[in-house]
Structures are given as structure tokens and as C-alpha cells.
Amino acid sequence: MKLTIVEYPDKRLKQKSLPVEKFDGGLHELLDAMYDVMMESNGIGLAAIQVAHPLNVLILNIPDETGEQPRENLIEMINPVITAKEGETTYQEGCLSVPGFYEDVNRFELLVVNYQDRDGNTKTLEADGLLSIAIQHEMDHLNGILFIDKLSYIRRKKFEKEYKKIQKEKKTAK
């Protein structure tokens, strides 16, 4: 399965994703193909809706202290639910579906998340730092929310202007 990333302003990114019910070969194929496209694109997190699959599936591969992203650090979350959240933090976020734009977003600092793995086993994870931020960013995708939807009116206007410019430059470079 070869996947391509859906980019803003594609309306599919506004869709709410649905729970996964079957933990079968089809799900495993999707997860493996998501990993390939995320790594090819230099990403650290990806939700299934970003590759046009409206399912409650996300993957994360946070760089280690040397900046590497070994496959054994990959986290696959199916049907994630946040059960506790605490504190506040701000981070300059980017998204593979909004290429070329980065902006500060406020998030919870600490999280506890319940989810299922690719075989349907229930897991609990306590997250802080970049992992916590990335989980919140990816879980927003499952609800059809992009990080740019969290910007103030003025910053959103700035984004729309800059993004149009980025897209125009991309077209002329082709």
C-alpha cells in the first residue's frame, strides 16, 4: 500500500475519524504504510486521516537525544482516549498536512492515554515533553482539528496569507 499525504485545505482533514473494530491484516498494512510515508516525509507523528483513512489510528516516532528515530521507538495508538491531563506548555508545531508553516500552540504538559495496540491489546501511557505535545496534535486530527484551527484570529489570517504564498512558490518551482 503506497500512501500520499492529504494537505490543507483539503476538506477530508475536517472529517471525524471512526473507531477501529477489526485488528486484522488490513490495519497492519495501513500502519506499516503510514510509517513508510511518515519517515519518507521527515515526520514525527501522523494520523490516519492525513493519508485519507478516517480511522482512530495514529503513529508517533519522537527523535531520541541523538536526533535518531529508530523503528523500535515507534508508538502505534489505536482508539486513543486521554484519561488525565495536567499543566500547560507551548511549542512551535508543524504538520505534514500543512507543509512549510510552524506556529506556537498551547497544550497540556502531561497526559495519561489509554489506547489499543495493533493487535487490540489495551495499553496505558504516561507522556510528557514532545511526546505529550505530539499525542495531542495527532488526537486533534482524529476530531478533524488542525493546529492552525487553534490560532488566534490574527495569527490565522497571517497563516492564510503565508500559506497562499508557499503554495504559489511550490507551483512555480514545478
State phi, psi for 63 to the nearest 5 degrees. Answer: -60, 145
Residues 4-43 that bind ligand Y12 (CB under 6 A): 42-43
Catalytic residue among 72, 138, 160, 162: 138
133 binds, among Co ion, ligand Y12, none (CB under 5 to 8 A by kind): ligand Y12
Q: H helices of 88-152, where?
A: 129-142
CA distance 13 to 94: 15
Question: Which region, judged by CB under 6 A, interacts with ligand Y12, from 21-29, 78-86, 92-100, 157-165?
Answer: 92-100
139 contacts which partner out of ligand Y12, Co ion, none, CB within 5 to 8 A by kind?
Answer: none
Q: Which of 103, 100, 107, 117 is nearest to 139 (CA)?
A: 107
Among 5, 133, 139, 146, binds ligand Y12 (CB under 6 A): 133
Among 13, 48, 91, 132, binds ligand Y12 (CB under 6 A): 91
Helix, coil or strand: residue 18: strand
| DSSP assignment letter at 110 | E
Indicate which of Co ion, ligand Y12, none lies near residue 99 (CB less than 5 to 8 Å, by partner kind): ligand Y12
Q: Cα separations (Å) of 174 from 18, 98, 99, 171?
A: 36, 18, 16, 5
- Binding ligand Y12 (rule: CB under 6 A), the pick from 75, 76, 93, 127 is 93
Torsion angle, CA of 15/145/111/21, rounded to 10 degrees?
A: 0
Q: How many CA atoms lie within 13 A of 147 on its CB side?
A: 24
Is 138 known to be catalytic? yes
Q: Which does 163 bind (CB under 5 to 8 A by kind): ligand Y12, Co ion, none?
A: none
Closest contact distance (angstroms) between CB of 18 and Co ion is: 19
When the beta carbons of 94 and 120 are compared against Co ion, the nearer one is 94
> Which residues belong to the active site?
138
Q: Which residues bind ligand Y12 (CB under 6 A)?
A: 42-45, 91, 93-96, 99-100, 130, 133-134, 137
